[in-house]
Structure 1
């Protein structure tokens, strides 16, 4: 039986936005096309690798 691997959680502040995956800190072997992620509702997941991204509590996202 296979067990589900819990994917890493990357916590972001408002200054880290826009959020995208993969990040420059990720290993080169795990590269996939860059996708921009909407974390304005708190948390999201990369559709390619499953890495979770979460906006830190108390952070305010401002529009343009």
Structure 2
């Protein structure tokens, strides 16, 4: 896959904590579940499949 074919999944606060594979992914493309760490710009990338995740504009991350 190249960067043009890697899907981008937009998430809202209600979708957190986020993990991959996400519930919309087909069973055949499964890999071990990994929870995602978002950077300060609201982006994360799955280390297994390369799926890009992005927080929708205005989404606020809760701090623990």
- Give the TM interval when normalised to the shorter protein: 0.7 to 0.9
- Please provide the CA RMSD for this pair: 1.6
Which structure 1 residue ranges, 5 or more long, are not aligned? none
Give the TM-score normalised by structure 1: 0.85
Q: CA deviation at 1:25?
A: 1.2
Alignment match, 2:48: 48
1:23-38 matches, within 5 Å, as 23-38=22-37
Alignment match, 1:13: 12
Give the TM-score normalised by structure 2: 0.85
Where in structure 1 do 4 or more consecutive aligned residues deviate above 4 Å? none
Aligned length: 62
Q: Max radius of gyration: which structure?
A: 1
